Structure 1
Amino acid sequence: MWKKGMASAVLLVLIGLLAWNLFGPKEPAIGLEKGDQAPDFELKTLDGKTASLSDYRGKKVLVNFWATWCKPCRTEMPDLDAIRSENDQVEVLAVNLTTTEKSVDHVAAFTKELKVSFPVLLDQKGIQARYQVLSYPTTYILDEKGRIMSVKHQMLTKKEIEKELDL
């Protein structure tokens, strides 16, 4: 009788573990599709600090890939800055394709001219290739847990960003 009780208990535990593995909560895969966990990265900022994507968990994040020579990038910068300035729970990470720029000083002058307040990250490591960025600007919109909500391969207006972020 005792053996049957133990066997039943073990069987129930195994069934429970199987059900948990099949139907329990799962971490999203790291990838570049909607719902995936965005790949983490670490880059130097324009002001010499180091920033990683994971530093901004808890906020919605716009990872904006751009360059100074990109006219649509210049056009959307003020809207990106306004979104960040008006919303405490939104961060903009402007990842500059630094290897195509005249110099880091040129990038600094560009951002100073536009008076942007968000972090400018200098991509000299090929993060843009890792994110499969083929056109500029490209923006990955992430939720508070770092999951990809959407990817936009175009210039965004403030209204479009607000709609994407449900603001």
Structure 2
Amino acid sequence: MKKTILIVVIVGMFAWAVYDFTMDNRKSASENETTEQEEKPSADQAVTKDQETEKPKVGLEKGDIAPDFELKTLDGESVKLSDFRGKRVMLNFWATWCPPCRAEMPDMQKFHENKDVVILAVNLTDTESSRQDVPDFTKDFGLTFRILMDEDLSVSTTYQIQPIPTSFLIDSKGIIHNKAFGALNYELMVQEFEKMK
């Protein structure tokens, strides 16, 4: 019975993610057209590098600055997303009970080992049956990247996470380069990573 409910929930979350992704893309496209028309600088307006870096707003769409947050790792170390400015980051939201999350973990570990990328894997700790499931899972999968514990789901809520896994690829300036719903394989991770600055 639990497996049936879990499958129904996962399928429902996936369907919602596809719908939401499609609607976001349409909305983004129309907003981008309007924004481009409104924000074209005139020839006599000089744009400095400082102004260019201040242009993006904090948000969850491609081209936005990823919202900053602070969480503790499994070891109790406090980590902020902004600590990694100057590096490319893969921000992944997951749980131990999620089959697609489990499927992508070996590829994330390989990605972590082979590329100069910071992986921040945010565990939706409040959804786990036991907090001990997380260190057990990390040990079983041989994960060496940072596992962050979202105890009260505050960061997951800020990032409007549904479904899991959801990943954000963030460039060295803190700008969201891409976001992906569902499990990613190693080749896709590398492909998007190499497009980032």
Matches within 5 A, 1:24-103: 24-27=51-54, 28-87=56-115, 89-103=116-130
SS, match of residue 25 in structure 1: helix
SS, match of residue 19 in structure 1: coil
- Residues paired across the two proteins, number: 149
Larger gyration radius, structure 1 or structure 2 = 1
Alpha-carbon deviation of 1:56? 1.2
2-structure distance, mates of 1:115, 1:90: 18
2-structure distance, mates of 1:148, 1:104: 30
1-structure distance, mates of 2:53, 2:86: 19
Correspondence for 1:115 among 142, 146, 151: 142
Q: Deviations over 1:33-78 (max 9, x none)?
A: 1011000000010111111101111111110000001001011011
1-structure distance, mates of 2:53, 2:108: 32
Alpha-carbon deviation of 1:104? 2.0
Matches within 5 A, 1:5-24: 19-20=45-46, 24=51
Evaluate the alpha carbon distance shift between residue 20 and residue 150 of structure 1 in structure 2; reply closer, same or farther with a 3 A threshold: same
1-structure distance, mates of 2:193, 2:134: 28
Unaligned runs of 5+ in 1: 1-17
Give 1:9's aligned residue: none
Evaluate the alpha carbon distance shift between residue 113 and residue 26 of structure 1 in structure 2; reply closer, same or farther with a 3 A threshold: closer
Instruction: State TM-score, norm by structure 2.
Output: 0.71
Give 1:131's aligned residue: 159
Once the two structures are aligned, what percentage of the paired residues are identical?
45
Q: Which aligned segments of 4 or more residues in structure 1 are displaced greater than 3 angstroms?
A: 20-24
1-structure distance, mates of 2:72, 2:183: 24
1-structure distance, mates of 2:176, 2:90: 10
Q: Deviations over 1:73-131 (max 9, x none)?
A: 011011111111112x2011000000011222111101110010000000024111100
1-structure distance, mates of 2:165, 2:47: 40
Q: Check if 1:106 corresponds to 2:133.
A: yes
Instruction: State TM-score, norm by structure 1.
Output: 0.84
AA of the residue aligned to 2:151: Q
Q: Deviations over 1:9-33 (max 9, x none)?
A: xxxxxxxxx9347995241111101
SS, match of residue 138 in structure 2: helix
